């Protein structure tokens, strides 16, 4: 199967499920939607489509990009664009198959499920997936799994390298009105690339690392790594193995040739610097005079809104800061102010090689978001402040009594307030925000009070704890009053 010419994209349109080609998707204007059994695979499919389109077409400027969003491209433009690259995207190529190496030495076959993050080895597998999803996979699901594993997941463990962005980076993409427009909204134009990846022109025609192989123990510099090479970086040596005859794909149900496993082999190299991935927000801090930069990731169970400012707003402070993904920065500069921002956020939370949970969600942010950083920060920070006060007062109660309630309270807080925060972002009229913020405070305050009451309920009548509880309650009351 060839990703540039084959019909592999699983889509749905008016209840009909089919596989279409990238050419059909970019040259026609149908209302297709990606259709897969897992939300993270759908996002991986989209990210793969965006990455393919990005390396085929780099619009010169905003005007050209707007044109691409509005109008399908011509078939002849598509054919001309794929001509020099077609060979690199063939899943079964005899010499350099897509994101694989021929002749991988491995004693045994690895199960296909290992290409689907979190399917096996997760501490909460039942939560992460349905069982029996990947014994054998069709070429389409395999290509998406291969790409997702390499770009978005922790390494296989045992010395295997993780993705260019680290163990489990967060990906942010912009949602458009249909699939074709969504793809173009996440393609960076030349002007944007000049800013985010100034060396991209010189490294533009470098072949991917399954064609031009990385040498054992090679030192690779981020600023010599081109767009194609970085977007499709394969950190491990992998070789897919096909089954005999036909089978039914355990993921999408398609019948045909299937892969039944893969060989994998680790290899060592040093990647120096941070490659400015178009789809990933980054954070930095300065420690002992050195700036340490890395990609945003989910490191706690806190919901995505707690990190929203990292996804949207550039912040350069002396000791710390963050930079949104270039695709978000482009939307900020390019979009008309009366357009809402539909931001897809996806990522995994891992502990070493295993996935603890996956997060894939959509933020719908009110128009004029570009001009209202302060207010967006205020929405997030206000939520965080109420959480912190609740935790602090319960921590005081814990110190006095030994009853540890702060973690379960925090969990409840996130659960109860998540719709509030999303509602605030969605319905905000940034020009007339006073009443909305006052209402927001009121609701956060109520939720905080209720949670405090719920978690301390069992201790209301314990004589030894009544005093500590009263102190905590009064303390909370006082600090919430100050917040309002
Ligand atoms: Zn499949």
Residue 121 corresponds to which tokens in the numbers above?
Answer: 């080895």
Please tell me whether residues 349 and 458 are part of one structural domain. no
The answer to whether the beta carbons of residues 224 and 250 sit under 8 Å apart is no
Band the pLDDT of 304: cuts 50, 70, 90: very high
Please tell me whether residues 101 and 192 are part of one structural domain. yes
Judge whether 128 lies within some domain: yes
Rounded CA gap, 312 and 188, in Å?
16
Q: Which helix (H) or strand (E) holds 320?
A: strand 320-323
Residue 101 has φ and ψ, to the nearest 5°, of -125, 140
Rounded CA gap, 2 and 5, in Å?
5
Task: For residue 171, report the distance from its CA to the centre of ligand 1, in Å.
Answer: 23
Judge whether 122 lies within some domain: yes
Please tell me whether residues 115 and 156 are part of one structural domain. yes
Band the pLDDT of 370: cuts 50, 70, 90: very high
Rounded CA gap, 460 and 468, in Å?
10
The answer to whether the beta carbons of residues 31 and 178 sit under 8 Å apart is yes
Task: For residue 50, report the distance from its CA to the centre of ligand 1, in Å.
Answer: 20
Which residues are bridge partners to 363 per DSSP? 343
Rounded CA gap, 164 and 234, in Å?
8
Q: Which helix (H) or strand (E) holds 240?
A: strand 237-248
What CATH code is carried by the domain that includes residue 397? 1.10.132
Q: Name residues with Cβ closer than 5 Å to ligand 1, which is an ion.
A: 138, 141, 249, 251-252, 254
Q: What is the pLDDT of residue 37?
A: 86
pLDDT digits (tens, 9 = 90+) for 328-343: 999 999 887 789 999 9
Please tell me whether residues 476 and 351 are part of one structural domain. no
Residue 147 has pLDDT above 60, yes or no: yes
Q: What is the pLDDT of residue 133?
A: 55
Task: For residue 116, report the distance from its CA to the centre of ligand 1, in Å.
Answer: 12
Candidates 300, 330, 438; CA nearest to 378 is: 438
> Where is the domain boundary, 323, 355, 373?
373
Please tell me whether residues 13 and 159 are part of one structural domain. yes
Hey, how many other C-beta atoms are within 10 angstroms of the C-beta on 265? 14
Please tell me whether residues 292 and 413 are part of one structural domain. no
Judge whether 2 lies within some domain: no
> Where is the domain boundary, 340, 373, 406?
373
Please tell me whether residues 268 and 302 are part of one structural domain. no
- Report the chain's mean pLDDT, rounded to a whole number: 93
Please tell me whether residues 193 and 312 are part of one structural domain. no
Please tell me whether residues 95 and 241 are part of one structural domain. yes
Task: For residue 256, report the distance from its CA to the centre of ligand 1, in Å.
Answer: 9
DSSP label of 189: P
> Where is the domain boundary, 373, 392, 424?
373
Report the relative pairing of strands 269-272 and 282-287 from DSSP bridges: unpaired
As for how many domains the chain has, the answer is 3
Domain that holds residue 382: 375-483
Task: For residue 369, report the distance from its CA to the centre of ligand 1, in Å.
Answer: 38
Judge whether 32 lies within some domain: yes
Task: For residue 158, report the distance from its CA to the centre of ligand 1, in Å.
Answer: 28
- For 15, residues 6+ apart whose C-beta sits below 8 A from its C-beta are none
DSSP per-residue letters across 31-45: --EE--SSHHHHHHH
The answer to whether the beta carbons of residues 59 and 231 sit under 8 Å apart is no
Residue 480 corresponds to which tokens in the numbers above?
Answer: 């919430």
Please tell me whether residues 125 and 258 are part of one structural domain. yes
Judge whether 1 lies within some domain: no
Q: What is the pLDDT of residue 117?
A: 76
Task: For residue 141, report the distance from its CA to the centre of ligand 1, in Å.
Answer: 4
């Amino acid at each position: 199967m060839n990703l540039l010419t084959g019909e592999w994209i699983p889509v749905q349109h008016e209840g009909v499920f089919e596989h279409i080609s990238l050419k059909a998707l970019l040259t026609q204007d149908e209302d297709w939607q990606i259709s897969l059994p897992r939300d993270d695979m759908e996002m991986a499919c989209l990210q793969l489509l965006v990455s393919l389109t990005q390396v085929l077409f780099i619009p010169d400027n905003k005007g050209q990009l707007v044109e691409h969003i509005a109008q399908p491209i011509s078939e002849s433009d598509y054919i001309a664009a794929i001509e020099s690259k077609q060979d690199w995207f063939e899943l079964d190529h005899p010499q350099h198959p897509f994101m694989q190496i021929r002749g991988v030495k491995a004693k045994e076959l690895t199960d296909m499920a290992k290409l689907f993050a979190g399917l096996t080895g997760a501490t909460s597998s039942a939560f992460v997936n349905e069982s029996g999803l990947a014994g054998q996979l069709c070429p389409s699901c395999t290509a998406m799994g291969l790409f997702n594993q390499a770009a978005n997941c922790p390494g296989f463990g045992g010395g295997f390298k993780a993705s260019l962005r680290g163990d489990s980076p967060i990906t942010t993409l912009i949602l458009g009105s249909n699939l074709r427009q969504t793809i173009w909204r996440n393609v960076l134009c030349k002007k944007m690339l000049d800013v985010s990846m100034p060396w991209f022109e010189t490294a533009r025609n470098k072949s991917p690392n399954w064609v031009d192989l990385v040498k054992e123990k090679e030192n690779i510099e981020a600023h010599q790594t081109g767009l194609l090479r970085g977007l499709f970086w394969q950190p491990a040596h992998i070789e897919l193995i096909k089954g005999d005859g036909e089978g039914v794909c355990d993921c999408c149900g398609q019948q045909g040739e299937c892969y039944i496993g893969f060989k994998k082999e680790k290899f060592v190299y040093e990647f120096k610097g941070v490659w400015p991935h178009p789809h990933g927000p980054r954070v930095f801090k300065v420690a002992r005079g050195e700036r340490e930069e890395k990609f945003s990731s989910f490191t706690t169970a806190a919901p995505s809104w707690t990190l929203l400012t990292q996804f949207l707003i550039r912040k350069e402070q002396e000791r710390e800061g963050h930079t949104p993904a270039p695709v978000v920065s482009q939307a900020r500069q390019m979009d008309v102010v009366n357009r809402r921002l539909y931001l897809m956020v996806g990522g995994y939370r891992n502990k070493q090689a295993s996935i603890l949970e996956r997060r894939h969600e959509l933020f719908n942010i009110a128009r004029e978001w570009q001009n209202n950083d302060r207010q967006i920060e205020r929405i997030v920070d206000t939520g965080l402040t109420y959480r912190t006060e609740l935790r602090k007062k319960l921590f005081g109660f814990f110190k006095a009594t030994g009853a540890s309630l702060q973690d379960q309270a925090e969990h409840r807080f996130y659960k109860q307030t998540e719709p509030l925060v999303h509602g605030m972002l969605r319905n905000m009229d940034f020009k007339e925000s006073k009443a909305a913020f006052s209402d927001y405070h009121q609701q956060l305050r109520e939720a905080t009070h209720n949670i405090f009451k719920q978690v301390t309920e069992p201790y209301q009548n314990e004589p030894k704890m009544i005093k500590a509880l009263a102190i905590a309650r009064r303390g909370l009351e006082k600090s919430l009053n100050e917040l309002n």
